[in-house]
A and B are shown apart, each in its own frame.
Chain A
Amino acid sequence: MWLPLLGLILGVSLGLLSDIQIPQLYSNYLSIAVLAALDTLFGGIRAYLQQIYDDKVFISGFFFNIALAAGLAFLGVHLGVDLYLAAVFAFGVRLFQNIAVIRRILLTKWSDRGKVSEKKFQE
């Protein structure tokens, strides 16, 4: 159960302590990767709340999205097209949508629970 949390802590400390320097040019890819990771994470949470969650989809999506976003940005830099903007836009929109869906599901759940407890109280 605590394994994922351990992984998170390990990852954060690894990221903070590692001495790797990346050139200014590639900082775009990094931000895209962050966005992709966030998007997939919230997508996973949404899927779990909608009971359509699947391990394979989540994990493959997580890594694939990061790679795709970075690859797209890379391609954009080499083609002279700001493709990373497309990625930022797509992931940003989806991020907001996912969070909105999560919020709505949580709200319905919360109000349902309130009704249930009310019913119980009435009974």
Chain B
Amino acid sequence: MSIEKQTIKSERLGESYYKIKHPSGLNILVWEMPEFSSVYALFGTKYGSINTKFKTKNDQDFIEVPEGIAHFLEHKLFENEDCDVFELYAKTGASGNAYTSFDQTAYLFSCTENYEESLKILLDFVQAPYFTKETVDKEQGIIGQEIRMCEDTPYRQVFFNLLRCLYVNHPVKIEIAGTVESIAKIDADLLYSCYNTFYNLNNMALAIAGNVKLDDVLAICDEHLKVKENPELVTAFPDEPEEVNKEIFVQKMPVGTPLFAIGYKSVPFDGKERIKKELEASILLNLICGSTSTLYKELYDEGLINSNFYTEVDSGDGFFASMFSGESKSPQEVYNRIKGEIERIKSEGIDSDLFEIIKKAEYGKLISGLNSAEKCATLMFESDLLTGVDAFENIEALASITEKDIMDCIDILFDNKKTAISIVESNT
């Protein structure tokens, strides 16, 4: 088979990897790290909890499926017709796992020997679904317990409650595993329907990093990838207003100090622009209330936050939110002070020295993010699958960000009219 091979290089870091457009439609990403013993591989699809409405060229209308089905499918794919995938990995010594997020499902393994055999197992089982009524029923119990565990976890509740405040219609507000009620509606036919739609090599990526050789990986891919017709998938999301759903939500459950999550909703971005906006949002979160900021010091000294305070950016198809989270006896006061600081920065501008320091810290964070086969493989995989850009784009985007860029986007990313707070406090 003829292949299209590209070397993706970062002069800045002195690192490189290969990107191959395989004739089967699959993007294959290979990072050779001969000095490492480990190998880490991810094979997955651009299909996550938010993809509940879709159609292919064979469908007239959009199909809507129960919440939590992408995650359910991930669990079920580990069961082959004749055996459990973990039994196969047990023989090669690989450690296998999988995860489902808002917009992707990834199957992975790590190992230090026999990676070729483990790669064959990975490619084979992900391409060989096997669902029956019995195996689906059995999984309801296991996933039911996973859902219960999440419902008892206040950190997770405070996060999803915030998403439900920020988003009116977008499915990012639903729990990744769904609910005990929604997964009860899942059956083998629905699983096959979702599988056949999203598990098409044109909608997937394979990333492998560590002690591997490009030619060996490609030879295995040539032999094990099954070419299927491209179903020309179209996903759809409900219209999402720019405004938030509600500004506050309080849940009561057994916790110590109340937990809070404060979010700012923005219009979504795609491709390179998404990478850049994620970095700009991250820099702004740090300028507003990162551990080097004046506001952080004030809140900390006043006992309004503690060192468990953190910031994050969550973005994907149709959503983009910047968040401040932590523990506080007065979450509302923290919220008001953050809103005030945003207005202050908008009128007075940013601290140039702090901007440069934060950029340096972000640069260091990106370098530390290339410190293992796992991190390198994950970066290649997610960059390609989710944004369609190369893995080093983030470091180039970071270098290009100016103070002006930051001031230009603060109104879009941190609008005090498009914000919400979620609080989890003790029920006793």
The yes or no verdict on A and B being binding partners is no
Write the residues of chain B forming the contact surface with A, with a CB cutoff of 8 angstroms. Answer: none
